Structure 1
Amino acid sequence: MKLMNAGLALLSGLILAAVPATPAGARAAKCTLAIVDLPGGRFHRIEVRCTPVPGEQLDVIRLMGSDGWSGDDRLYTYYTHKTTFIRTIDGNYLDEDEPAAEDDIYAKVWFKRPNGSLYTVNTNQWHGWYGGWGLCCTTPGEWTEPGY
């Protein structure tokens, strides 16, 4: 029994050593989301503004629909290094719930540290009524914008 307890202690120590801890006081980037309704109501301007930690690079912005009961929906992915990112988008891309429900949108933003590791930051949530029965374009979760 003592040998088994010693083995478990050693194993748990090895596992903890293999998972790097976040350094105390480590800084992370900050990002905010705003969605501006454009005249006519169909199109909206997406604004994601980030303040990275010096030396880090923004890598990917993914618009997400918040769904506590079924997991969050991936709506739209942008590959960019721009820390201020503005795009006009059809409201159907933001319609992440059934038409009778309010949509809750946030952005998940990936940053690359100088050592090559990645981490994510979530923006604030933006609430609104977007789209209309998803009658537009392509399937939002499958569409990505190529290139940077």
Structure 2
Amino acid sequence: MKTTAIHKRAAATLAIAALTTLATVPVLAQPALAESTQAAGRCTLTITQLRGDLYVIAENSCSPRLATDTLTTTRYMGADWPDPDDTMLYRNYPGNRDRFKVAGYRLDEDAATGDEIYTRNFFRRADGSSYEINSNEVHKEFLPLVG
């Protein structure tokens, strides 16, 4: 009789533990689920050579992960594989669509071959944390300033 009572108590304890676990898992999984269903965010870089001019129009358009996220810095990088990438220029608080005119030689990151430029975009969330989104790489030939 005692053995049966002990087994019933153990079974009841296990059942309560299982129900508690099942009730807790969805609550714990919600932040992870929200993080994974969050928009990935994206940045797209375009660089247009102006005809007969030493200048180019650079446009970096970003969609942050959340509308409340703020783009704080954009770094224009030269991809120098296998060497470390070079920072060509940077802009603070450029806005999600930053379009500006810049001398093409400022983007000449590699005298030996064509130039590969991309942006590293740093965002700050409303809670103070941050994240980074890299843009696509633009392949062009930017000539050095001669003279």
Normalising to structure 1: TM-score of the pair? 0.70
1:94 is aligned, of 100, 104, 107, to 107
Which of these two proteins has the greater Rg computed from alpha carbons?
2
Aligned residues: CA RMSD: 2.0
| 3-state SS in 1 of match to 2:62 | strand
TM superposition shift of 1:69: 1.2
1:82 is aligned, of 80, 90, 95, to 95
| 3-state SS in 2 of match to 1:24 | helix
Aligned to 2:136: 124
1:60 is aligned, of 48, 57, 73, to 73
How many pairs does the alignment contain? 114
Q: Which has the higher contact order (CA 8 A, sep 6+)?
A: 1
2:83 is aligned, of 48, 62, 70, to 70
TM superposition shift of 1:87: 0.8
Aligned to 1:39: 51
Alpha-carbon separation, structure 2, partners of 1:120 and 1:135 = 35
Alpha-carbon separation, structure 2, partners of 1:81 and 1:29 = 16
- Cα 1:81–1:42 change in 2 (3 A) is closer
Aligned to 1:28: 40
Q: Is the 8 A contact 2:74 2:94 kept in 1?
A: no
Aligned to 1:48: 60
- Cα 1:117–1:135 change in 2 (3 A) is farther
TM superposition shift of 1:25: 3.4
TM superposition shift of 1:55: 1.2
List alignment gaps of at least 5 residues for structure 1: 1-20, 137-148
Alpha-carbon separation, structure 2, partners of 1:32 and 1:105 = 11
CA-to-aligned-CA distance 1:102-143 (integer Å, 9 cap, x gap)? 0000011001111111111000000000022x558xxxxxxx
Alpha-carbon separation, structure 1, partners of 2:91 and 2:143 = 20
TM superposition shift of 1:81: 4.5
Alpha-carbon separation, structure 2, partners of 1:130 and 1:43 = 10
Q: Is the 8 A contact 2:41 2:63 kept in 1?
A: yes
Identity within the alignment, %: 31
Which structure has the highest helix share of the two? 2
